[in-house]
Amino acid sequence: MYLQRLQLYHFKNHSERSLEFCNGINTITGSNGIGKTNLLDAVHYLANAKSYFNGIDSQIIEHNAPFFTIKGHFQGEAPADILIQFEGGKKSIKKNDKPYPRLLDHIGLIQTVFITPYDIDLVLGNSDDRRKFMDLSICQIDKAYLQNLSTYKKTLEQRNALLKSMQGRYIDPDLLSSFDAKLIPAGLLIHESRKAFVADLLGFFVGIYQTLSQGSETPAIVYESPLNEGDFQSLLQSSYRQDMAAQRTTVGVHKDDLQFNLGEFPLKKFGSQGQIKSFIIALKLAQYNYFQRVTNNHPILLLDDIFEKIDEQRAQRLIEMVGSSGYGQIIITDTHVSRVETHFQHLETTKVHHHL
């Protein structure tokens, strides 16, 4: 599937915008602040029913407008028109003029991989950013994971609300066990899915990183989880007193993290700027390859202002990789028309350029 036409109404700073794309390399140029990143975010929204940057839909509406609408016409084996509208606090999604019974029924139809300067938080930010990366990746190809994640989060909120309401006083373990009965099966499935995802990702990641960086160091991704250490039920039971004192659930997959290493050293502490940027891009291209293998389809690759953030040599190696026949639709933003032309002029593929 590839996006042939995008139409926006009151989405962020776009009052009304319509763009046509090809199933090849699409470039969008223009000055900073004109809304190039917002166009990529709209494509991500069409696939994932949410913004890449902001989870609060009411803040995505153009200032003083009553609603926003995103329309996308996708071509492929099964062409589809997707319409997403947010108005009056409610979001609706239609496929070929038919509303989905549930929003999550739409997830998985289209996969996107988004590479943006804000991804630096994957390395330098907290564990929430890295769990979000795992969750967004797996949710795009596994509806059961999405359902288990929803169940786990709701149950965790209820369990934490009970712990907080007791303000450190004694709670009957049987009462906590009633929440654990839902938390445990969902948590176990999340853990198994994340562990399998990281293992699959590594199969693509190491080679991509070494091609991009031209370095000799070996990169590694380590999945850290309390559930790696033992049985979830036993872990919860042994943490009852600690949970009551902390007034929250202190063990579970909501504590998972990813450790990024180069050789034996943590990337966060010892990686150079160039190494961190190569690591993040390789991580996202590994995500692309993962989607491609699982679905047998090309995801849509969204590249936001990457030439501003990486050196010429890395940029050219990246373009040579994504410009090969193994990639499908690519949408790239940049501030300089000449730079885009320089990087892509030698590639023999369909190209469309928009200047805002």
Q: pLDDT for 146-158, tens place per residue? A: 999 999 999 999 9
Q: Which of 9-18, 215-224, 262-271, 307-316 has the lowest mean pLDDT?
A: 307-316
% of the chain at pLDDT higher than 70: 99
Helix H, strand E, coil C: the string for 329-352 is CEEEEECCHHHHHHHHCCCCCCEE
For residues 19 and 310, the model is more confident at 19
Count of all residues that appear for the chain in the document: 356
Give pLDDT, residue 38.
96
| CATH 1.20.1050.90 residue window(s) in the chain | 121-296
Q: Does domain 121-296 have CATH number 1.20.1050.90?
A: yes
Give pLDDT, residue 215.
74
| CATH 3.40.50.300 residue window(s) in the chain | 1-111+298-356
Residue written as token pair 């962020």: 12
Separation of alpha carbons 317 and 61, rounded Å: 37
* Distance in angstroms between the alpha carbons of the first and the last residue of the chain: 25
Yes or no: say if 1 and 336 are a contact pair by the CB < 8 Å rule: no
Give pLDDT, residue 75.
93
Yes or no: say if 232 and 310 are a contact pair by the CB < 8 Å rule: no
- Is pLDDT above 90 for 327? no
pLDDT band at 63 (very low <50, low <70, confident <90, very high): very high
For residues 73 and 323, the model is more confident at 73
Q: pLDDT for 97-142, tens place per residue? A: 999 988 888 999 999 999 998 899 999 999 999 999 999 999 999 9
Q: Does domain 1-111+298-356 have CATH number 3.40.50.300?
A: yes
CA separation (Å) from 356 to 46, 71, 260?
Answer: 21, 19, 37
For residues 309 and 187, the model is more confident at 187
Closest CA to 20 of 34, 39, 35, 38: 39
pTM of the model: 0.93
